[in-house]
Each structure stands twice: as structure tokens, then as C-alpha cells.
Amino acid sequence: MSTARLIDPVLQRMEAVEREAKRLSGLIVLDGRFAPALTQETFDVENPGNGEIIGAAPRCRADDVDRAVQVAHRAFAKWARIPARERGALLLKAADRLEAEREGLAQLSSLETGNALATQTRGEATTMVDIFRFFAGLAGELKGVTVPRADGVFLYTKREPLGVVGAIIPWNAPLMQTATKTAAALAAGNTVVLKTAEQAPLAVLKCFEILQSVLPPGVANAISGFGEEAGQALCEHPLVRKVTFTGSSAVGARILHAVADKIVPVTAELGGKNPNIVMADADIERAAKGVIAGLRLQRQGQSCTAGTRIYLHDDVYEPVMERVLAAIPTFRIGNPLDDATQVGSIISRTQRDRVERYVAMARKTPGAKILIGGERPSDPELANGYFYTTTLIEGVPASSPVCRDEIFGPVATVSRWTDFESVLAEANDSAFGLAAVLWTENLRAAFDFVDRIEAGFVQVNQFSVAEANIEYGGTKLSGTGRELSAESLVNHFTWPKTVIVNTAAQ
Ligand code: ADP
């Protein structure tokens, strides 16, 4: 160990987290314990903040998937029969254990995702615990209805758990995604096999390790592997009775195809290219803060909810942009594990290449102008990581892929507008329909927008993200199904049974 490492608290922290990453390397969580996978192959896990390899994860294929699903299937028979509130009590206990390990989980997540500890992963770990508690409390609320029919005829509905849930998550917020998928599935009496994202498997494995200390073996299992191998095999497995997925729209479509023949429900939380519209009468300070919040700097813009199409009314364009452009450089980019860092690194070289391709495309577009960013940070300490400055681009036509595709990085377009009908039409002229935000002091305009915008998650005069009890999901290419609400638990993690008990005399 170098002397620098001994005296620098951030490097000391990294050293400790790197040790934890090594401990979790090469394993999956199966049947209540850490286990080696059947596959002998692994793939590297990288720290995107410095490009160093921090661990390895098993490259599971169909045989590992089958073993995990069989385990979960066996566990289902018992788990589904545990009285609902007892299941809830176990999930509450799991939440307590996760809470006790929050800091370690957050640090590990920062190490492998590049998301900053101070602004993203600590908060995300808290949200994760909250989501477990939320669904734990709802376990006893999976109610059916009674239907009046006739004397002596008892007509009612009840909700049944589906069976083994295959959960597939991305890398951008793995702790939150784990809770969203796992807590809801388990509360409803299902068991889970979760496939971690290739880029960020380790913090999720640690979550599952913690869950094993409370839950019966086989109820919550986690595997790693590539999408086309492990992910696809999980979707196709005959005993997987529900798939819950968050990721790109292209993969969401592939998953729907993969399960089509066995006809199982799919929740698909997919991409977004979300409009953030400021009207002429908006509160300028508030709207400028909202535009910044919409950029999701704490995740380097790698958020489905990010407001990446910014539409500013001509009357307020200058004052809003002045504030936004002044604020962006004040966010400190740096080592994700440093408490002083507010913006970390992009997840991978591949993803940064993608961001750079779109910025290059914008540069070549006649009339387009990079207002800020458009480059890697100059700090030599960050040269080995996949850092990129927050980038705002003006003057890109609505037809450009820069305006239409989900870039999934710190890049947003800014446009001027004067006619509300036109800006609303442009906002809706998108393949996606996830989130949308409007800034106005005019109540009528606000509700008009709410009624006519094609998005599943609509906000007026605030920008915040989904959390427990705020239902989330999109329309169009942004997906199908909803998460994080009581209704999502009932509708997407159980199936309804209609029962008629006829005791009437013939
Ligand atoms: P991203 O671009 O954010 O990585 P993806 O949609 O490619 O988003 O991946 C999200 C998750 O879906 C990852 O866990 C990935 O392994 C998985 N995945 C990718 N392809 C498939 C597939 N064909 N079937 C099932 N899962 C897949």
C-alpha cells in the first residue's frame, strides 16, 4: 500500500470498498447463500471512475438460470403460503438489515456505477430501504372484492401470487431497481430470480446477501450474466411466470417477444426523452432550478426521467438560461467516492462513446450550438475515468436523432418557443412517453398540459423522481405496467381469481 493511500481518507475508503468488491467477486446468491455458479467463465467489473478492474462476475447461461429458477420454484410453494403479514414482517426485518448496511451498499454502488456517493448512492440506499418498508406494509392489503349476487351465493375475488418472478435490471440505479422489483414481488408471495446488470452486479449481490439473513432460502436469488444469455434464458424459462424489467426500449421489445409464447405478464419500464417546458409566466428562479434538477446531474443524466428536451418560452429564455449556465459549472465533477463530488462518471467507455457520438452529430448540424460542455473534463486526475461535462445544445432540429433518441448521458437540447400548441405538439412528437414537466403560474394552462401530454409521469412546477407511493411508468415506447404503488403490487405481481360459492338450496 502506498503512503498516499494510508493518509488520504478517500483513497482509504476506496481501498476498503475494493476489498469488499473482491469478496463478492465470482459468486451468485442461490438458495440462501453465496454459491459458485455452474459456469466457469466470468466477466470483469470495472470502476468507471478510474478504469480499473475491481472484480469479476459469473457469466451465467441457461444452466445457471435453470438451477436458480428451480430453486425459486421450490421455495415458492412455502413462501406463498406464509400469511401475508408475516411475509411483510420478514420484509420489514430485511429493510432494517439493509438500513444498517446502507453506507457500505452506497459506497460499493458508487465504485461500480460511477454515481457520486454524496449526491446519488447514499440517497438511493435510503430510498431502497424505504421501498422495502412500503411494500412490506402493503403485504396484508392484497384484497379482493365481494360482489352482491343472491342469497346463499358468495361471489368474491382473491389475488394469487404468480410464482417465480424474473427480474432484470439496468446499471443506472441498481439499489433502487433491486428494491422496486424484489420487495414488491416478495410482498405479494412470489419468489425472485434477479439478473444484475453486467456493469454493476456487486452492490446488488450484497443486497441479496443481506436478504438471506432474514428470508427463507431460495426466496430471493441473484445471478449475473449477459442480456442475450442469462437475461433471455430467464425470460424464456417455463417456470418464470412474470418478468419485470427496466432498461432500453429495444430490449423491452425483445423481452415481450421472448415471453409471448408462454403468455406471462411483463412490466417494462423503458426509455424516455422527456420534455421540460417553461412558460412565459413561470417563476424564473424555480424554473431554472427545475431545469437543472431535470438534468439529473447526480447520475450524469443517466436517468429515464431526465428532462432532456428543454423548451423555454422566448420571453424567459435569457433569464432562465443565464441561471442554468451559471449553475452547471458549480457542480463538482470528481471521484465518485469523494464526499465533495457532486457529479461522477459515466458508466462505461461504451456509454461515453455513445454520448460523444451524439455531441459530434450536433456539432455537425447546421445552426446547432453547444452552449456548455461538449467535452471531457480537463482535470488530469479524471483522465482514466469516463467523465464528461454536462452539455446543453441549442438549435438542433426536432427531427435530429439528438432530439429524438434517448442518449442516456449528460446531454440535453434547449429550444425557444412562442406558441403553446406548437410546443405541446413537439413535446408529444416522440416515440417515448415517460415523464413530462411544465413550469407555469397559470392553473388553466397547467391542467390543459396535464390533459394533453402523452406521458405517464407528469409534474407541474416541480421536478422530482419516483419513490415509494409515487406510481411510475410510461406509455408508448416507454413501456407498460406501473411500479412503486399499491395498485402496481396488486395488478402486476398477482393474478385475480373469481370465486363463486353457491350454498343456496336448489
Ligand atoms: P442499458 O443500455 O441500460 O444497459 P439494456 O436494455 O441493454 O440497457 O439492459 C438492461 C438489462 O437488460 C441488463 O441487465 C441487460 O443484461 C438485460 N438484457 C439485455 N438484453 C437482453 C435480452 N435480450 N433479454 C433479456 N435481458 C436482456
The topology under which CATH files domain 7-270+479-496 is Aldehyde Dehydrogenase; Chain A, domain 1 (3.40.605)
* For ligand 1, mutation pick of 194, 251, 266 (most atoms within 8 Å of CB): 251
Q: Output the CA–CA distances (angstroms, integers) from residue 61 to 111, 232, 243, in the order listed.
A: 26, 9, 17
Phi then psi dihedrals of residue 471, to 5 deg: -60, 140
pTM: 0.97
pLDDT band at 7 (very low <50, low <70, confident <90, very high): confident
pLDDT in tens, 143-178: 999 999 999 999 999 999 999 999 999 999 999 999
Rama region for 469: left / alpha / beta (φ>0; ψ in -120 to 50; rest):
left
pLDDT band at 506 (very low <50, low <70, confident <90, very high): confident
Reply yes or no on whether the pLDDT at 6 is more than 80. Answer: no
Residue 4's pLDDT is what?
A: 58
Ligand 1 contacts CB of residue 240 (under 6 A) = no
Catalytic-residue membership of 304: yes
Residue 339's pLDDT is what?
A: 98
Residue 505's pLDDT is what?
A: 87
Residue 242's pLDDT is what?
A: 98
Residue 20 one-letter amino acid: E
Q: For ligand 1, atom 20, which residue shows the shortest CA distance?
A: 227
Radius of gyration over every alpha carbon of the chain, rounded to an integer in angstroms = 24
| Average per-residue pLDDT for the chain | 97
pLDDT band at 5 (very low <50, low <70, confident <90, very high): low
Closest ligand 1 atom, CA of 170? 10
pLDDT in tens, 362-412: 999 999 999 999 999 999 999 999 999 999 999 999 999 999 999 999 999
CB contact at 8 A, 389 and 377: yes
Residue 365 one-letter amino acid: T
pLDDT in tens, 205-229: 999 999 999 999 999 999 999 999 9
Specify burial of residue 65 (Cβ count, 10 A radius: 0-12, 13-18, 19+).
buried
Reply yes or no on whether the pLDDT at 346 is more than 90. Answer: yes
The catalytically annotated residue of 269, 406, 454, 483 is 269
| Residue 247 CA to ligand 1 centre (angstroms) | 6
Ligand 1 contacts CB of residue 354 (under 6 A) = no
Alpha-carbon distance 116 to 106, whole Å? 9
| Residue 200 CA to ligand 1 centre (angstroms) | 12
**Residue 80 host element (H or E):** none
Q: Where are the domains of the chain?
A: 7-270+479-496, 275-471
Q: CA nearest 460: which of 434, 439, 435?
A: 439
Rama region for 404: left / alpha / beta (φ>0; ψ in -120 to 50; rest):
alpha
| Residue 218 CA to ligand 1 centre (angstroms) | 24
Catalytic-residue membership of 269: yes
Q: Tell me how far apart the terminal alpha carbons of the chain are, to the nearest angstrom.
A: 86
| Residue 331 CA to ligand 1 centre (angstroms) | 30
pLDDT band at 1 (very low <50, low <70, confident <90, very high): very low
Ligand 1 contacts CB of residue 369 (under 6 A) = no
Closest ligand 1 atom, CA of 226? 16
**Residue 148 host element (H or E):** strand 146-150
Alpha-carbon distance 206 to 155, whole Å? 45
Ligand 1 contacts CB of residue 225 (under 6 A) = no
The cell 401475508 sits on which residue? Answer: 84
Share of the chain above pLDDT 70, in %: 99
Three-state DSSP class for residue 314: coil
* For ligand 1, mutation pick of 168, 232, 269 (most atoms within 8 Å of CB): 168
Ligand 1 contacts CB of residue 227 (under 6 A) = yes
pLDDT in tens, 248-306: 999 999 999 999 999 999 999 999 999 999 999 999 999 999 999 999 999 999 999 99
Pairing of strands 27-30, 33-36: antiparallel
Residue 3's pLDDT is what?
A: 56
| Residue 387 CA to ligand 1 centre (angstroms) | 23
Rama region for 51: left / alpha / beta (φ>0; ψ in -120 to 50; rest):
left
Ligand 1 contacts CB of residue 61 (under 6 A) = no
In 355-395, at which residue ranges do the beta strands (DSSP E only) sit? Answer: 369-372, 391-394
Three-point CA angle 323, 399, 276, nearest 5°: 30
Region 19-39 average pLDDT: 97
Region 29-58 average pLDDT: 97
The cell 432494517 sits on which residue? Answer: 96
Residue 2's pLDDT is what?
A: 54
Reply yes or no on whether the pLDDT at 347 is more than 70. Answer: yes
Ligand 1 contacts CB of residue 264 (under 6 A) = no
Question: In terms of CATH architecture, what is 275-471?
Answer: 3-Layer(aba) Sandwich (3.40)
Residue 38 one-letter amino acid: L
Ligand 1 contacts CB of residue 197 (under 6 A) = yes
Ligand 1 contacts CB of residue 269 (under 6 A) = no
The catalytically annotated residue of 112, 304, 403, 454 is 304
Ligand 1 contacts CB of residue 48 (under 6 A) = no
CB contact at 8 A, 235 and 259: yes
